[in-house]
Chain A
Amino acid sequence: MTSFGVIQFPGSCDERDALYACGMVGDARMIWHEDTDLGGVDAVVVPGGFSYGDYLRAGAIARFSPAMNAVAEFARDGGPVLGICNGFQVLCEAGLLPGALLPNEGVRFVCRQVELVVVGDETAFTSETEAGDRLSIPVKHMTGRYFAPEAELDELEAAGQVTLRYAPGHNPNGSVRDIAAVSNEPGNVMGLMPHPEHAVDPLTGSADGLRLFASVAARRREPAATR
């Protein structure tokens, strides 16, 4: 069974939901930000919230935490790492993912259900989806406008690193090219602004988010499918 570790920073607020979502497809445990050892987990989730108060810039301080050093090493060794919302910001600041997140174009905090379209279905977190699938997942953030220079965007698209887009008319924050999620080149690290951990039960409107967690769990069962 896949074991997930969810990093908990001071100021995290979605780590419990992430733990619950991971627990639906595997074993899940919390990892405190001061831990220097990930305890042998198979996959890591960097959850949403306001790590270290989002001081300076969202994610700027969290990336220096002992746990994030361990996550960076884990990612370099090919370990699957999912950054959600603030976790996405942390992974970008840490240089584990390309680009950066800017304040929403509309200046306001956005909190709503959005439709996403799967673009890259070969990463560790999208392998149980097909390109073209639509996923209904909520967003809730203030700093979610994805940005990378044009030339880099072309490279990312060519390399298949844009994994999810907001469906037409659903871009909540002004992200360039409607990008909702990107991965690193090998596809083992992915970050997204929407919250799949809040969409794991039909009772709350959608269970589409579970497919991202299930992708990692399935990958674990089929070790040959490494990408």
Chain B
Amino acid sequence: MKARVLIRPKEGILDPQGKAVERALPALGFDGVSAVRVGRLVELETDDADSLPDLCERLLANPLIEDYEIVTDSQ
């Protein structure tokens, strides 16, 4: 099955990339955009969906600083 893993900086952790993007937007005329956060998207295919949380905890995300969300096709 195909799965997507969305990885984000944990809430409360300063995300300077998001801040930089947010500050750049008004220069293009996009006003009023706030709370921009930049994360990562990992796409993968697996026969063992049950192992995905473990896989995320141990490699794809660093649970100390990042949250992850697993999205599978069946959802």
Contacts and interface: CB of A to CB of B under 8 A. Distances in A.
Interface stretch (A43-51, A101-109, A121-129, A208-216): A101-109
Contact of B64 (A99, A103, A174): A99
A148 B60 contact: no
Interface centre among A104, A105, A107, A149 (most CB of B within 10 A): A107
B17 A102 contact: no
Interface residues of B, number: 13
A106 B62 contact: no
Nearest to B15: A103
A56 B41 CA distance: 10
Interface centre among B19, B20, B65 (most CB of A within 10 A): B65
Nearest to B42: A56
B65 A102 contact: yes
A100 interface: yes
B62 A104 contact: no
Nearest to B9: A102
B59 interface: yes
Given A103-B17, A104-B16, A105-B14, A93 B62 contact: yes
Nearest to B60: A56
B13 interface: yes
B14 A174 contact: yes
A57 interface: yes
B16 A147 contact: no
Contacts of B65: 100, 102, 147
Interface string A189-219: 0000000000000000000000000000000
Interface of B: 9, 13-14, 16-17, 19-20, 40, 59-60, 62, 64-65
